Amino acid sequence: MDEQQLETLRLHPDFNRLVASKTRLAWTLTAVMLTAYFSFVLLLAFSPSTLALRIGAGTVTLGIPVAVAFILLAVAVTAVYVLKANGSIDTLNETLKEQHA
């Protein structure tokens, strides 16, 4: 691809929509994970006794399900990204490839 074709692609509305949607998705999912991570770390730092609370009569503390939930959130965020990337983002990407190949 020469410079002229690259410039044409950069100015294409579908390309701009592709870049904007990928950027928006990435920042949204990053914000979700950072919020969860820093909430967990702040809870550990300022209220460790909260996570040390026992659940029921057993030896399991509240920290275990909270940590598992954090891991499941990471898996869910990854799944959302993969589904979105393989869906609408890839479709738009393929359309651009066909138009500018």
CA 28 to centroid of chain Cα atoms: 6
Instruction: State mean pLDDT over 39-51.
Output: 94
pLDDT at 2: 77
Q: Per-residue pLDDT tens for 23-34? A: 999 999 999 999
Domain count, the chain: 1
Q: How many Å apart are CA 34 and CA 68, to the nearest integer? A: 16
Residue 77 or 91, more confident = 77
The structure's pTM equals 0.81
What are the CA-CA distances from residue 18 to residues 1, 9, 30, 33 (Å)? 19, 11, 18, 23
Domain span holding position 10 = 3-100
- pLDDT of 56: 85
Among residues of the chain, what percentage have pLDDT more than 90? 60
